[in-house]
């Protein structure tokens, strides 16, 4: 199984809502990532977990809160988002080294 599964595929939320994005992989990868991608732009790194511990936080606002419950699951909790946070949110996984990234299909988020 070489798949990274993300749910939901689409999400519309208001600025006062709390929602969560979920990501799952069964490739035995011990590094997992959240990326944000705006239209016509490359993915931008948000967070990296290595062995279930947060290893990189690219100065992301606190309204985004990642969580790694176990080696197969990665969540991104969303609260009080702004319209400019509307984007495609991508999860990826890799071996710790070498870092060949496998991406999920993403969650298309719209903040109203």
Partner 1 sequence: QQQVKQSPQSLIVQKGGISIINCAYENTAFDYFPWYQQFPGKGPALLIAIRPDVSEKKEGRFTISFNKSAKQFSLHIMDSQPGDSATYFCAASEYGGSQGNLIFGKGTKLSVKP
> Which spans of this chain sit near partner 1 (rule: CB under 8 A)?
4, 6, 31, 33, 40-43, 45, 48, 50, 55-56, 58, 88, 90, 92, 94, 96-106, 108
Cβ atoms < 10 Å from Cβ of 23? 26
Complex with partner 1: residue 66 or 106, whichever CB lies closer = 106
The distance of closest approach from Cβ of residue 73 to partner 1 in the complex, given in angstroms and rounded to an integer, is 17
Nearer to partner 1 by Cβ, of 30 and 79: the residue is 30
Cα angle, residue 110 at apex, residues 102 and 7 outer, rounded to 5°: 40
Q: Is 16 exposed, middle or buried (0-12, 13-18, 19+ CB in 10 A)?
A: exposed
Least CB distance to partner 1 at residue 13 (A): 19
Between residues 33 and 64, which has the closer beta carbon with respect to partner 1?
Answer: 33
Rounded to whole angstroms, the maximal C-alpha distance in the chain is 40
């Amino acid at each position: 199984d070489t798949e990274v599964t993300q749910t939901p595929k689409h999400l519309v939320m208001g600025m006062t809502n709390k929602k969560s994005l979920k990501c799952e992989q069964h490739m035995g990868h011990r590094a997992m990532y959240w990326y944000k991608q705006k239209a016509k732009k490359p993915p931008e790194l948000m967070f990296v977990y290595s062995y279930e511990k947060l290893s990189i936080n690219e100065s992301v606002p606190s309204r985004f809160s990642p969580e790694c419950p176990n080696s197969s699951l990665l969540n991104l909790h969303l609260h009080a988002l702004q319209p400019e946070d509307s984007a495609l949110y991508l999860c990826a996984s890799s071996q710790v080294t070498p870092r060949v990234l496998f991406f999920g299909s993403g969650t298309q988020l719209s903040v109203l």
